[in-house]
Amino acid sequence: MKSVLFVCTGNTCRSPMAAALLKHYAQEAGIEVRTASAGLGAFTGDSASEHALKAMSELGLDLSGHRSRKFHTALAEEFDLILVMTEGHKRQLLQAAPELAEKVFLVQEYSRAARYREELQNGKEKVYEIADPFGQSLDVYRQVRDELAQAVQAIIAAWQREKGDNA
């Protein structure tokens, strides 16, 4: 079973949405995955933001039970893959725990690698950050939700191809 930890800033918007989306699409694809989320600057026990709850409920996904937690190295060691939202998150995480370097990626970076391995091999490097919607409109949350949905669907598709190659 694959295990993925999503990390953002406050663990009330992007990372809980990403964890729920990956879990949902993996289940639809018949792939077992354990997901969790944490925030580099999170306060423990905060619920998902109002707009995150609304944006996800539009897809039939319920974040009402989510409670934020702060990222720590011991938590990260429990996961095969750690997906972050921004270069700043990646830098901060790797400064605190350089031993995690081989399993820390930007969500979009990992997603693009799953879809466009050749593009990355040809040296076309781009930054694929997920913008923080905190304090913005519901439409911005929907946009972030949709970016995350596309990214995790690409990851699922790559895992399905990998699963087929190993069958």
What the block records as the tokens of 86 is: 């921004």
What percent of the chain lies above the pLDDT cut of 90?
80
Active site residues: 8, 14, 132
- Predicted TM-score (pTM) of the model is 0.82
What percent of the chain lies above the pLDDT cut of 70?
91
Angle at 149 between CA 53 and CA 60, to 5 degrees: 40
- How many angstroms separate the CA atoms of 98 and 73, rounded? 10
Give pLDDT, residue 119: 56
What the block records as the tokens of 116 is: 């466009």
DSSP 11: S
Rg (CA), the chain: 15
- 119 phi/psi in degrees, rounded to 5: -60, -45
Is domain 2-165 annotated with CATH 3.40.50.1010?
A: no
Residue 126: pLDDT band by 50, 70, 90 thresholds? low
